[in-house]
Amino acid sequence: VPEIAERAIAATSALFDNNKLKLEKNINTDIPAILGDRDKLIQVMVNLISNAVKFTPEGKVSLSVYEQDQEIHVSVADTGIGIAEADHAAVFEQFKQVGDTLTDKPKGTGLGLPICKEIIEHHGGRIWMESELGKGSIFYFALPITKTISTSSKPIHLEDLVKQLKEQVAHSQLKAQKENARILIVDDDDSIRSLLNQELSEGGYLIEEASNGKEALKRVRDNKPDLIILDIMMPEMNGFDVAAVLKNDPLTMDIPIIVLSIVQDKTRGFRIGVDRYLTKPIDTGLLFNEIGNLLEQGKSKRKVMIVDEDTGTVNTLTEVLKTKGYTVFESDGKELIEKAKTNQPDIIIINSVLSGNQDIVKTLRFEKGLENVLFFVYQ
């Protein structure tokens, strides 16, 4: 837990740089270990610290980690505005507004208190608070100390050893591939960007950041990234709008987009053409896996299917796409569905006459398991 606390402090340091606030820490490093998900616990601490910063115009925020009653206790205290007693019961409830949207998505956090409660309780712990209006707040959580687990000294089988060595080699090769891969993180939440930046930088990726949709589009056009991690809930221009612009531009439509958001609307995301849709809280292992898969796919030629009865149009499009590195195959519409199922294209370009007023598109996307295919319907 002390190491987790230090990671959370590092991830939120920018919040204190931008405010006249002091962070005090009292972390007992001589405490037993616990069994838990490191990344999710980091997110809980990041959320509590971010909330404290948001609701503390001046003064200090204090983070403490200590052992008490066979549990590891963590507390985040602030000298901020506090929470009225009448609102205490609603703080950890979903879809309740307390003051300035404390429970849902306060500025500086991508993870609401109800989800924090869910994570802590999933670890067998508990979370609670003390607060008085005008005098600040203290949020606590406690986690059970892990009992000693006996280990076996049974020798590993040769097959298992070979498998582990192969996995290690594959991991080393993937790490080497990462070194030149650039990822753009788009999120209006400073702490989430900082947390992702820290995790992905340590993983070997080159990171750029954008705090809103307009800035993201400018950064993409100025310096095209290899992959984009995109939040949905952003002011002025939300993530769906950003993805739609990028996926409808021939210059940027091939950039893989991973949506990472508390908003659960995968259907809309896939309709726009995003490549993966993950929901917060962040599962870092899954995120790294999806990033690796998408970057590896990007190195192979993406497949485009052209659907048109006009040979001249097909030839023109094929020539252009092949010069851009795409693998192209065609259909006159008669065997479209079967060819799409067989070849699994990334993109289908289809004449509006053959699209049957979008019926074929709907069939392919929703009935044939090709939800991630990007469609271009033209006249």
Specify if 368 maps to a domain.
yes
pTM for this model (two decimals): 0.47
Residues 340 and 211 in one domain: no
CATH number at residue 57: 3.30.565.10
Specify if 340 maps to a domain.
yes
Residue type, 13: S
Give me the percent of the chain exceeding a pLDDT of 70. 76
96-118 residue pLDDT tens: 444 544 443 333 333 478 888 88
One DSSP character per residue, 158-227 reads HHHHHHHHHHHHHHHHHHHHHTT-EEEEE-S-HHHHHHHHHHHHHTT-EEEEESSHHHHHHHHHHS--SE
Specify if 169 maps to a domain.
no
Query: Could you say which of 281, 299, 317 is where a domain stops?
Result: 299
For the chain, what is the domain count? 3
Q: Give whichever of 57-61, 62-66, 89-93, 287-291 has the largest mean pLDDT.
A: 62-66
Specify if 173 maps to a domain.
no
Residues 7 and 139 in one domain: yes
241-277 residue pLDDT tens: 899 888 877 778 888 999 988 877 888 888 788 888 8
For residue 288, count CB atoms less than 10 angstroms from its CB and return exposed for 0-12, middle for 13-18, buried for 19 or more. Answer: middle
Residues 9 and 140 in one domain: yes
In sequence order, what E strands does the chain have?
21-27, 59-68, 71-78, 126-132, 136-144, 182-186, 206-210, 227-230, 257-261, 276-279, 303-307, 327-331, 347-351, 374-378
Contact 21, 59 (CB under 8 A): yes
127-161 residue pLDDT tens: 999 988 888 999 999 998 855 433 333 444 444 54
Q: Quick one: pLDDT at residue 309?
A: 78
Rounded distance, CA 112 to CA 89, Å? 15
Rg (CA), the chain: 25
Query: Could you say which of 299, 328, 361 is where a domain stops?
Result: 299
CATH number at residue 352: 3.40.50.2300
Q: Quick one: pLDDT at residue 361?
A: 67
Query: Could you say which of 126, 144, 162 is where a domain stops?
Result: 144
Q: Which domain holds residue 26?
A: 2-144
Residues 39 and 120 in one domain: yes
Specify if 221 maps to a domain.
yes
Q: Quick one: pLDDT at residue 353?
A: 66
Residues whose CB falls within 8 Å of the CB of residue 147, separated by 6 or more in sequence, listed in order: none
**Mean pLDDT (the chain, rounded):** 77
Contact 39, 46 (CB under 8 A): no
Residues 273 and 361 in one domain: no
Bridge partners (DSSP) listed for residue 130 = 138
| Bond prior to 225 in cis (omega within 30° of 0) | no
172: pLDDT strictly greater than 60: no
Specify if 33 maps to a domain.
yes
Average pLDDT over residues 357-368: 61
* Residue labelled with tokens 């989800």: 115
198-248 residue pLDDT tens: 888 888 889 999 999 999 999 999 989 999 999 998 888 889 989 988 887
